[in-house]
Chain A
Amino acid sequence: MAERTIPAPKSDPETEPFWEGARRGKLMLKRCRTCGEAHYYPRPLCPFCLGETDWIEARGTGTIYSFSTMQRAPVPYAIAYVTLDEGVTMMTNIVDCDFDALAVGQRVSLVVKPSESGQPVPMFTPTQAAS
């Protein structure tokens, strides 16, 4: 099956640790030093209280909050929001699976896929069959 070309993400000084983590096969998040809340996408200042934030490594596991298979595309793909076990929900793609078997609530785990520039991008693949 043809692979979809993944646009390269633009890294900047504030988010480079996220992309550096992806190069190591990791998913990096940020958590607030003041209120203790994790958030997504990563920001230098917490979107809940504007406190300073620190990088943490996510477990890389979560559940599908919602998904949609884009059929009207040269190469169909599944876009999704995945709720991480750390409590935040991120936009992503679900890959390496049968799109027809996807379901809300399904458990997924982290994989990284190379983008056009070679920079890996965090994505997810099912770890259990849909119930």
Chain B
Amino acid sequence: MSIRGQAYIAGIYEHPTREAKDKSAAELHVESARGALADAGLGLKDIDGYFYAGDGPGALSLANHMGLRLKHLDTTDCGGSSYILHVGHAAEAIAAGKCRVALITLAGRPRSDPSFGATMRAQNAAAPEYAFEAPYAPATANMYALAAMRHMHEFGTTSEQLAWVKVAASHHAQWNPNAVLKEVVSVADVLGSPIIASPLHRLDCCVISDGGGAIIVAAPEIANALKRPRVRIRGAGEATKHQLGGRIDLTFSAARWSGPAAFAEAGVTPADMKYASIYDSFTITVVMQLEDLGFCAKGAGGRFVADGNLISGQGRLPFNTDGGGLCNNHPSNRGGLTKVIEAVRQLRGEAHPKVQVKNCDLAVASGIGGSLATRHTSATVILERV
């Protein structure tokens, strides 16, 4: 069974808040769900499937809180890529007749609750690898930095090239009134920012923001009856990479496997993509995924992203036109959901006019959840305007 053409993204909503001091994570989930339903033109009673990862009070609590009546529940959690993976899982459930209108929500307050990041990222003391990692103080930034350092060693990738990823994101974020960072930055600005975990600078890292969002995935007969532009799910892939028993290889991510699976199901190639949403937890994350997805050869990612090649209207592959996690929003420390949302905006022609890609009929959204240097799951979806 293929999910190709079996389901549509009928509604999207990115919560406008970036700092939610007076609002609970549960309320951000509910407001996001309401926003996506309003965008689709559907109501609470239409939802019969719910997709939730680990970023809140729990699936049953939220179903209770929102008053959902569910025939299908999926709580797969693989970190920030969960929501891209959920789009594929929702399409599977719809194709199999298990539900007809699926809700995906994300929310969290890492900015207002300083303990949030620490607890979310804290390693699980019950995990068998814990004793062999915790003493060495792995954090989020220094794990991605290990991949960046090896990439530089193997392929000659430079800090200047990585900086171009941030520069491109900032060019897009200047048009997004909700973005955390709206100022256009230069390569020199990135290189002049303090080192967090060598070789990554502060501006190589994504923002920390409160917020949330939601996506509605619907069966064809429902999507066809709605008044919104139609965005169809054409293919999806997922894959998990880990430490391979100690045969560590940091030169690639699991997108090497999730990407080809998604493109094969969709029957298209990277060259067909008019737009790409690529989870940008750090600049290196984008470079590695672009290679692994097949937008350039392995090792050529640094050269591919340089000189504005990711800037809409200027480069060959417009990416993250909302400003991405690097500048716009990284709600709940998880960037997957906003990747899907901006891809849908592009396909609908509803991105900001300054960054809207002309005749955008095919787009990819891909992300890595977990840690690039230890354990992660990559999820890739191919979406089309019909």
Contact = CB atoms under 8 A, between A and B. Distances in A.
A79 B247 contact: no
A79 B149 contact: no
Contacts of B147: 66
B153 A66 contact: yes
Interface of A: 4, 6-12, 15, 19, 37-41, 43, 46-48, 65-73, 77, 79-81, 83, 88-93, 104-105, 115, 121, 123
Given A9-B131, A12-B131, A68-B142, 8 more contacts: A7-B135, A9-B134, A38-B246, A66-B150, A70-B197, A72-B194, A81-B146, A91-B133
A71 B195 contact: yes
Contacts of A88: 245-247
A84 to B, nearest CB: 9
A8 B149 contact: no
Contacts of B129: 41
B135 A89 contact: no
24 contacts: A7-B135, A9-B132, A10-B131, A39-B246, A40-B132, A40-B243, A40-B245, A40-B246, A41-B128, A41-B131, A46-B245, A65-B250, A66-B146, A66-B153, A67-B146, A68-B142, A68-B145, A70-B196, A79-B137, A88-B246, A91-B374, A92-B136, A104-B149, A123-B136
Interface in B66-115: none
A56 B124 CA distance: 28
A93 B136 contact: yes
Contacts of B248: 65, 81, 83, 89
A81 to B, nearest CB: 5
B240 to A, nearest CB: 14
A25 B90 CA distance: 52
Contacts of A47: 245
Interface in B183-199: 194-199
Given A69-B197, A81-B146, A7 B134 contact: yes
Contacts of B135: 6-9, 93, 115, 121
Given A72-B141, A72-B197, A79 B245 contact: no
A92 B129 CA distance: 13
B1 interface: no
A15 B149 CA distance: 31
B139 interface: yes
A108 B351 CA distance: 51
Given A39-B246, A72-B196, A66 B138 contact: no
B143 to A, nearest CB: 8
B125 interface: yes
Contacts of A38: 246
A41 B246 CA distance: 7
B235 to A, nearest CB: 31
A66 B246 contact: no
Given A65-B150, A68-B198, A71-B197, A79 B246 contact: no
A26 B236 CA distance: 47
A66 B198 contact: no
B245 A39 contact: yes
Contacts of A115: 135
Contacts of A11: 131
A83 B244 CA distance: 13
A19 B141 CA distance: 28
A115 B137 CA distance: 12
A90 B248 CA distance: 8
Interface string B137-162: 11101100111111001000000000
A35 to B, nearest CB: 11
Task: In the A-B complex, list the 6 residue pairs whose CB atoms are closest, starting with the nearest.
Answer: A40-B246, A88-B246, A68-B145, A47-B245, A89-B248, A41-B132
A39 B248 CA distance: 11
Nearest to A69: B198
A89 B247 contact: yes
Contacts of B142: 68, 70, 79
A40 B338 CA distance: 36
Contacts of A48: 245
B133 A70 contact: no
Nearest to B150: A66
Contacts of A4: 137
Contacts of A69: 195, 197-198
A12 B128 CA distance: 9
A23 B315 CA distance: 57
